[in-house]
Amino acid sequence: MIELTSFDGHKKQVEVCSISGKVIDVRRTVKTHISGRSHALAGGKNRYAHAGTSIKSSNTTHDEVYIVNEAGKEEVLRLTNFEEANIRAGHHVQALYFKGFSPKGDPTTTPYILINNRSLDKVVKKYDEIIEPLFKTGLIGLMKLQFNQISSSVVFVALVIIPLIIALFTALIFTPVFAAGYLIWWMYASRNINKQAEELFGEIDLQIKQYLLPPT
């Protein structure tokens, strides 16, 4: 068990789970996600001049790592975007994940948050995988938490309440004033969330070292 500080300041205990063994096979699938948009310029009635297309692509790497654990049984580690671990047949690897409770109190299990390639003495971490199942659901949930935390603060009054009052008396500029205040608050909340996440990941780093198996 390790103890972490959640985004609302409360302590949360999570169980650190470990799977380790010798790799006997690795099967990899790479999925490419492509999104694009065409831009056109008007050139008269029912006529358009093509101005170009912007295309973005990203890859997601899925690995099925077959291992024989210490009990001699075969297991499969299904990993996403852990290609930096450079796992190959014959390597000794360890995978860590957490068990805990969601904000609603439901038992939950995180995806793999760390791969320890003991043969290469290489550790790859993905601590951001714990945020959604253990703390809040997605970015909007985190933003709502930040809203609750600062709703009684001077920052909230200065950035939201005062612009809203001003806007009510000046209906013509209601939209831009409110939008500007909301944008400033959003930037403040986002920066605060990033800071809290870095502190949380630092806590994990300090406590998780005791669970890492030594290089082979």
For residue 195, the model assigns a pLDDT of: 81
Q: Is residue 184 part of a domain?
A: yes
Determine the angle formed by the axes of helices 174-208 and 162-169, rounding to 10 degrees.
Answer: 170
Tens digits of residue pLDDT in 115-149: 999 999 999 999 988 877 777 645 555 555 555 55
For residue 129, the model assigns a pLDDT of: 83
Q: Is residue 216 part of a domain?
A: no
Tally of CA atoms within 13 A in the half-sphere of 129 that contains its CB: 20
| Parent domain of 180 | 2-211
Q: Is residue 170 part of a domain?
A: yes
* Dihedrals phi, psi of 25, to nearest 5 degrees: -165, 150
pLDDT in tens, the chain (216 residues): 899 887 667 788 999 999 999 999 999 999 998 877 655 555 555 554 555 566 778 899 999 999 999 999 999 999 999 999 999 999 999 999 999 988 778 899 999 999 999 999 999 999 988 877 777 645 555 555 555 555 545 555 566 666 666 666 665 555 666 667 667 766 776 777 778 788 889 999 999 999 999 999
Q: Is residue 50 part of a domain?
A: yes
Tell me the C-alpha to C-alpha distance, in Å, between residue 121 and each of 13, 75, 114, 174: 28, 22, 13, 58
For residue 6, the model assigns a pLDDT of: 76
Task: Give the global pTM.
Answer: 0.74
Q: Is residue 29 part of a domain?
A: yes
For residue 152, the model assigns a pLDDT of: 47
Look at the chain and report how many structural domains it folds into. Answer: 1
Q: Is residue 185 part of a domain?
A: yes
Q: Is residue 121 part of a domain?
A: yes
Q: Is residue 54 part of a domain?
A: yes
